[in-house]
Structure 1
Amino acid sequence: MKTTVSIKASVWKYLRNLISVKHNMLLVVFLFTIFFMPDSNLFAQTPTHNGLTYDAAGGKKLDLYIPTTGTGPYPVVLWIFGGAWMAGSRNDQFPKDLFSMLGPKGIAVASMDYSYSSAAKWPTQSQQCRAVVRWLRANATKYNLDPDNIGAAGMSAGGHLAAFLGTSNGVKTATSGSVTMDLEGAIGGNTEYSSKVQAVYDMYGPANFLTMGNSCNGKTSNMDHMGASSPEGMLIGGAIQQNQDKAKLASPTFFVSEDDPPFLIQHGAQDLTVISCQSIELDSLLGKAFAANKKEHKLYLPNQGHGFAATVNKDTVISFFVRNLLKPKTAIHISTTNQAKSASIVSVSGTQLTLFIQEAVSLTVFNVNGSVVTRTRLLPQNTFELNSFGSGLKLCKLETQSGDKFNVNILCP
């Protein structure tokens, strides 16, 4: 850090000397951009298609980042910017960073405008997000997108909107008490297309407006979330406690069900803007809803505050979208000392592998280099995540109490 500050100080001294030389002004601007704009990326990804209109009446646009890997059609992740529903832009760094991660895997990224709360109240923002999903499906052939595999992602207020897209999947109108809201709307048309998404990545988004003011693990938010002039109050048009039905109809937690798509949630453990218990609560509800169908839901609490980059735990983010949007198949080959058991030893569904052995088994997993990845003891009917092995070829050696030995070669996605 000291080295970086020293370098910047030296460069700034050099720039001041250059400023007096008129013909060097362009060079000054160039170097200033590199050294004194830490949030910028001079060589950042640029949209393949910039400023595509999804809502002509409202003047709302989106950008598309299309991979050059493979031939498509490409799954697409819709990025939704943050900014307390009061600020922000589809042109910020986040969709560029996301595409730098997903583009090489063959996944496109879209980044959308939506209305600030100063211009429109909830559920306008829900309707706009759904309008973009429908637009992506309606224009899938034109832009070489896969209409069956669309994800949503966002940070802070955008994380809330992405999570809301996921938990309210397919719910067009909703009622709480005396309040009924049209969550779908008809913005931009294309109403013959579905607005459902197949995966959600939520970065530290508000999840339950009614509990936003609560303390969490000894931490309390450093800003008001309950008053009429709070970000949440501005969004729904009034103080939260005086508008509880409206608050419920804007909260992802209110809509959680077994029909929701897989979720990946990241929330900084040190976040004092949106307390991490918001994501803990959402993940807990998803766990209960997914108990029977075993859908994926994962919560990570990195030692971060509010606003960390999309590239935190990037391998986890990449593998989440690869699994749930590209959906690669898992290849398995079994060799054993007991051929009679080989046909019924293992079952794979998605990324869940279940062992059908009526006795305890010792399991050793090796990677392609022969190094031990893990050793464990499994009980009968034990199920575990293939993804816990990491991607690539793995050799699983299993030995039963009765002496039967099994080698299971697994190509993990």
Structure 2
Amino acid sequence: MTDSTLGATERGRIATAELFRRRSPIGGMARALLLCGALLSGGCAAYGPPHAGERTYRDLVFAEPGGHPLRMDVYVPQSSQPVPVVMWIFGGSWKIGSKGYHVNLRDLTRSGIAVASIEYRLSGTAKYPAQLDDCETALRWLQTHGRSLGLDPRRIGVSGESAGGHLAALLGTVEGTPRIRAVCALYPPTDLVSLGRKYANPKGPSDIERLLGGPIEHKLTLAAAASPVNHVSSSSPPFLIIHGARDELVPLEQSRELQRRLTQAHVPSRLIVVPGKGHWFLLDARQLNEVAEFFRSHL
């Protein structure tokens, strides 16, 4: 990565932070689109060089639903033994984004944990539950093929941010999901019924309505089924949830409700509320260390 790319990346992060500090007349989901544009134009999609001793596998095709290839990038730390892996799911209102940008947990490899950043069909291509199906398929692919990449398929965690955090939380709680040992969800939507009603607008569909394929009031059953809070059980894996205290796009209450359900089900869980942060922020070194420790203790 060149110095000019690093400069662009930093400019993109500053622009994104400034976007969420300002009071703006545009809607929350519109801000999300501007935010993702700032990240992409700022260089967060750029691939950096591998860390010392790290092996990188790019564009591994794990499924082709309807002839639509889905790929993943896998970052494997140097090790003489198979290593645990965290499957990363990108955010972007379920309608934009890619496996290569804003991989918030990319540096987990420095802690001996591999990262597999996956693609899924966006809402403009397929409606829910296609996105969850794709994540489940990626998980099964890692379980089947992980050893050939130096991964331990018995030690898989999942993580994601925003829309990806929603899918990670769902993947960890839905009945019938292949075994996941731990989930780290960053500022996730967890109750699509309440959030869908918050963003309902007669002038046009919200991003949640685009995901579900119709007006929220016509899709309440599907919205409930797509809500992680409704799938928590005593068999759910341990959770670490991270949410900005000033998040106006996905209210902090979404993570608090998930935490309440996990506590009621006696599932080991922790909610970290980050002071002063809105939606979509990079984890600092201390926060990343907490995530790494969480996964090390459960994987």
Provide the TM-score with structure 2 as the length reference: 0.80
Picking from 52, 58, 68, the partner of 1:50 is 58
Q: CA deviation at 1:310?
A: 3.5
Instruction: Tell me, in whole angstroms, the C-alpha distance in 1 between the residues paired with 2:208 and 2:114.
Output: 31
Partner of 2:243: 267
Superposition map of 1:170-209 within 5 A = 170=176, 195-209=178-192
Instruction: After TM superposition, give the deviation of residue 284 of structure 1 in Å.
Output: 0.2
What's the counterpart of residue 246 of structure 1? 222
Q: Residue 200 of structure 1: SS of its match in structure 2? A: strand
Out of 300, 310, 329, which is 2:272 matched to?
Answer: 300
Cα separation, 2, equivalents of 1:145 and 1:166: 20
| Closer/same/farther in 2, CA of residues 36 and 285 from structure 1, 3 Å limit | same
Equivalent runs, 1:143-292 vs 2, <5 Å:
143-170=149-176, 195-212=178-195, 224=199, 229-290=205-266
Q: From the superposition, tell whether residues 169 and 49 of structure 1 become closer, same or farther in structure 2 (CA, over 3 Å).
A: farther
User: What is the number of equivalent residue pairs in this alignment?
Assistant: 258
Task: For residues 359-392 of structure 1, give each alpha carbon's deviation from its aligned partner in whole angstroms, at most 9, with x where no partner exists.
Answer: xxxxxxxxxxxxxxxxxxxxxxxxxxxxxxxxxx
Q: Given that residues 213 and 226 in structure 1 are in contact (C-alpha distance below 8 angstroms), is that contact kept between their aligned partners in structure 2?
A: no
Gaps of 5+ in 1: 1-28, 172-194, 215-220, 326-413
Q: Is the 8 A contact 1:72 1:106 kept in 2?
A: no
Q: Is the 8 A contact 1:169 1:260 kept in 2?
A: no
Q: Judge conservation of contact 2:56–2:74 (CA < 8 Å) in 1.
A: yes
Provide Cα deviations, 1:100-152, integer angstroms capped at 9, x if missing partner.
Answer: 1x212221000011111011001100110000000001102211211111000
Quick one: structure 1 residues 30 and 203, their matched pair in 2 at CA, closer, same or farther if it must change by over 3 Å? closer
- For the Cα contact (< 8 Å) 2:196–2:216, is it kept in 1? no
> 1: distance between equivalents of 2:231 and 2:49?
35
Work out the CA distance in 2 between the residues paired with 1:301 and 1:229. Answer: 30
What is the match of residue 373 of structure 1?
none
Q: Which amino acid aligns with 1:317?
A: V
1:4-403 superposed matches below 5 A: 32-38=4-10, 39=12, 40=43, 44-46=48-50, 48-56=56-64, 57-68=67-78, 70-94=79-103, 97-100=104-107, 102-170=108-176, 195-212=178-195, 224=199, 229-290=205-266, 295-303=267-275, 304-311=277-284, 313-325=287-299
How many Å separate the matches in 2 of 1:253 and 1:202?
Answer: 13
1:289-315 per-residue CA deviation (whole Å, 9 max, x = no partner) reads: 01xxxx420001112100011346222
Whichever residue aligns with residue 306 of structure 1, its letter is H
Q: Is the 8 A contact 1:83 1:156 kept in 2?
A: yes
SS at match of 1:61: strand
The one-letter code sitting in structure 2 at the alignment partner of 1:271 is D
CA change 1:236–1:55 in 2 (3 A) is same
Decide whether the 8 Å contact of 1:166 with 1:199 is kept in 2.
yes
The alpha-carbon deviation at position 318 of structure 1 amounts to 1.2
TM-score, length-normalised on structure 1? 0.59
Q: Distance in 1 between matches of 2:115 and 2:238?
A: 18
Checking the alignment, whether the CA contact within 8 Å between 1:169 and 1:196 is kept in structure 2 is: no
Measured on the aligned residues, the alpha-carbon RMSD in Å equals 2.2
User: Quick check: which one's strand share is greater?
Assistant: 1
Stretches of structure 2 that go unaligned for 5 or more consecutive residues are 13-42
1:32-53 superposed Cα distances (whole Å, 9 cap, x missing partner): 4343331547883547000000
Deviations 1:251-294 (A, max 9, x none): 1111110000000001111000011100000010000001xxxx
Higher relative contact order (CA closer than 8 Å, sequence separation 6+): 2
Q: In the superposition, relative to structure 1, how do residues 237 and 142 fare at CA in structure 2: closer, same or farther (>3 Å)? A: same
Distance 1:267 1:213, change over 3 A: same
